[in-house]
Chain A
Amino acid sequence: MYAFFLQICSNSIKSGLRMSGTALSPFPLIPFSFPPDIGNKSYPLTKFPTRKLKSLAKISCSRSDNSSHSTSQQQQLNLSVLRFTFGIPGLDESYLPRWIGYAFGSLLLLNHFGGSDFSAITPAQLRTEVLGLSLAAFSIVLPYLGKFLKGATPNNEKSIPEGAEPIFLMSQNIPDTLKEDLAWGTYVLLRNTNTISVLIFIQDALCVRGYWNTPKDIPKDQVHDWFEKEINKTGLFDLRETLYFPQAEELWEILPRGTRSFLIQPVLHTQDSSSDKTEMSDGFVLLASSSTYAYSSKDRAWIRAVANKFRVDATA
């Protein structure tokens, strides 16, 4: 497959910039059967595009219009052949443009400084080099943009921060049903989302699970108090909105050191007072993850649902 990619490149270059017609013809995309998943883990199950690629008509250069209309029913543009994998586990091929950008950009600079001597550099070459460097910069940025497109699966590998230990802490003097619910809630959040640490605080009951950086000099029974003190410092009790930090730069002390994104979901219930509905906070759920952009909107919806489980029903 790697050879195939090289071949496309070399074909385009060697044939004197003549583009091969099959790659860019303007006929409409017909749904094709799924190609087997070839292990490129950054791309999820393919769904076939339904829109005609009218925009490609400007770029294509080889097909004439009448032939494309007549044969549009039989033709299938199988673009999925462009997806490939090197087969090396752990290597994310969607970052290939970034590596090519770095490699070719540095080669361009090498060519500029190490090629023919300075006086012989023509304006034409300078133009090409400027164009090449800006293309390299664009290619480097490309995987970052691709992360936000629909259908991009986030990287779900959890990396455990160093120095963090797994703990499971729960307040003691709470009813058994609440204990079970807390245990289930923390388990489910750790398992189903890209989370390494979770903390649930409901009506003075605390449950902490996952990898946390507790200070080492505190004896085991006072860890609980340490958590409460840290929570008081940040004042998370009165939170009314969901806060999501997809790229956390400044972290609170309470969070483990390798946290890159975290989310705080308050548990609210509406209280119908005499004139209007006020939202009272019963507590919050804090989730921390070691990768950026860890929680998609679907994850956030489910986290909201789990948080609602702990809601105190005023009318119960």
Chain B
Amino acid sequence: MGAGTLIRPTPLKSSPLSQQRPPPGPPTPGYHSSNSISIPRSSTPVKASSSLNSQGDYRGPKPKREWVADWVSQNDDVVRSLPIYVGGLSLLAVLVNRTISGIAPVADASSSQSRADLLTLGLAVTNILNGLVWLSIRPKSVSAVNPEGVECQSICPLLPDFISSELLWVWESLSDATCCRSLIIVYDKRVILQIGFATASSNTHDAVVVDVDKLMKGSLYQGALKSKSQSYLANLSLYPAKSELPFLPPNTQAVILQPLGDKGLAIIGGDMIRGFTTSDQAWITLVGEKLDATLAK
């Protein structure tokens, strides 16, 4: 493999790196997600694709659409405040019912009418409180920030094929499954992969070259390797150690530092504050171990 040439993996999603990634929308409800079409992240649901005809010999059952799940995921805000409305309206209805039937508004349990009213009120209050709890746990919607910089894809040319295909697989998985936009892998005192967005250097329009020695002497690298565990900088702007990563785009929002054994570090930059979920972190840890095992060969 010559310097600078890459085995570009055949992209299964049709959006190449240079296209702007659309903002993450609701979870894709399409359970027939075809791999050859990029899943549109808009608010309209993905219709069941018609390529079922090309299934060939598949004879098994097909999944049916989940109407309730799709509807709830798309109308998230409405559903969260729905119990409050239902509860509040029934509360009023009970009151109105009592007044128009001429019963004195005394809340005691003597007559069966009052008992029924009290039970209904209890249910209404439960609904209201549940709606309030749902509102309180609504996740804050964070929008992705497009990284400023240039795209680059550079890989160390001296690597054997299986390592470079593994590295490219790591990049493809991270950029597909998480909010990762830049990836730099340092191993054995060298940068072996720099892919995604990077700061443009001031004089040329190419990406900034990573100064490995400075990086390795810095506190982030030392701390990550000493602790031998992943460190997650959820909001990079709060960390003064951000200056040790000048090669990442300046508006990178979150960074994960994954040590690869004793000899390397993977720096993963994302475009959303707290963009990497706990499941992403677990996956990245396992992928890091695999990568370390591969690179050690």
A136 and B120 CA atoms in complex are apart in Å by: 8
Chain A residues within 8 Å of B124, by CB = 135
A252 at the interface (CB under 8 A from B): yes
A75 within 8 A of B: no
**Chain B residues within an 8 Å CB radius of A242:** 31-35
Choose, from A201-209, A219-227, A296-304, the stretch at the interface.
A296-304
Counting CB contacts under 8 A, is B206 at the interface? Answer: no
**Residues B138 and A246 in contact, CB atoms below 8 Å apart:** no
User: Chain B's interface: helix, strand, loop or mixed, by majority?
Assistant: helix
Q: Which of A8, A44, A177, A277 lies in contact with B162, CB distance below 8 A? A: A177
Give the total number of A-B pairs whose CB atoms are below 8 A apart.
280
What separation, in Å, do the CA atoms of A112 and B117 have in the docked complex? 12
Is B52 an interface position by the 8 A CB rule?
yes
Q: Which of B93-101, B213-221, B257-265 makes up part of the contact surface?
A: B93-101
Kindly report which residue of chain B lies nearest to residue A14, judged by CB atoms: B107
Partner of B69, one of A148, A299, A300: A148
Residues in B with CB closer than 8 Å to A21 are none
- A189 to chain B: closest CB distance in Å? 10
A243 and B290: CB pair below 8 A? no
- In B96-150, the 8 Å CB interface with A consists of 97-98, 100-101, 103, 105, 107, 111-113, 115-130, 132-141
User: Are B35 and A279 in contact, with the CB atoms below 8 A?
Assistant: yes
Please state if A151 and B123 are interface contacts (CB–CB under 8 Å): no
Query: Chain B residues with Cβ under 8 A from A115's Cβ?
Result: 112, 115
Instruction: List the one stretch of B151-159, B186-194, B239-247, B275-283 in contact with chain A.
Output: B275-283
Q: Shortest distance in angstroms between B12's beta carbon and chain A's nearest beta carbon?
A: 7
Is A257 on the interface with B (CB-CB < 8 A)? no
Given contacts A82-B133, A145-B68, A148-B68, contact A239 B55 (CB under 8 A): yes
Bin chain B's interface residue count: 35 or more
A-B complex: 8 closest residue pairs judged by Cβ atoms: A238-B56, A305-B173, A47-B140, A115-B112, A124-B101, A79-B136, A132-B120, A301-B177
Given pairs A124-B98, A297-B27, A299-B279, 18 additional interface contacts (CB within 8 A): A13-B107, A24-B128, A51-B77, A82-B129, A82-B133, A115-B115, A121-B112, A122-B101, A131-B90, A131-B94, A132-B123, A136-B123, A142-B127, A236-B58, A237-B56, A240-B34, A277-B36, A315-B10
Which residues of A does B touch, CB under 8 Å?
5, 8-9, 12-14, 16-17, 23-24, 43-44, 46-51, 53, 55-56, 59, 79-80, 82-83, 96-97, 100-101, 104, 107-108, 111-112, 115-116, 120-125, 127-129, 131-132, 135-136, 138-139, 142, 144-146, 148-151, 177, 184, 188, 191-192, 234-247, 250, 252, 266, 268-270, 272, 277, 279, 293, 296-302, 304-306, 308-309, 313-316
Chain B interface (Cβ within 8 Å of chain A)?
A: 7, 9-10, 12, 26-28, 31-36, 49, 51-52, 54-63, 66, 68-69, 72-73, 76-77, 79-81, 83-88, 90-91, 93-95, 97-98, 100-101, 103, 105, 107, 111-113, 115-130, 132-141, 161-162, 165, 169, 172-174, 176-177, 277, 279-280, 282-283, 286, 290
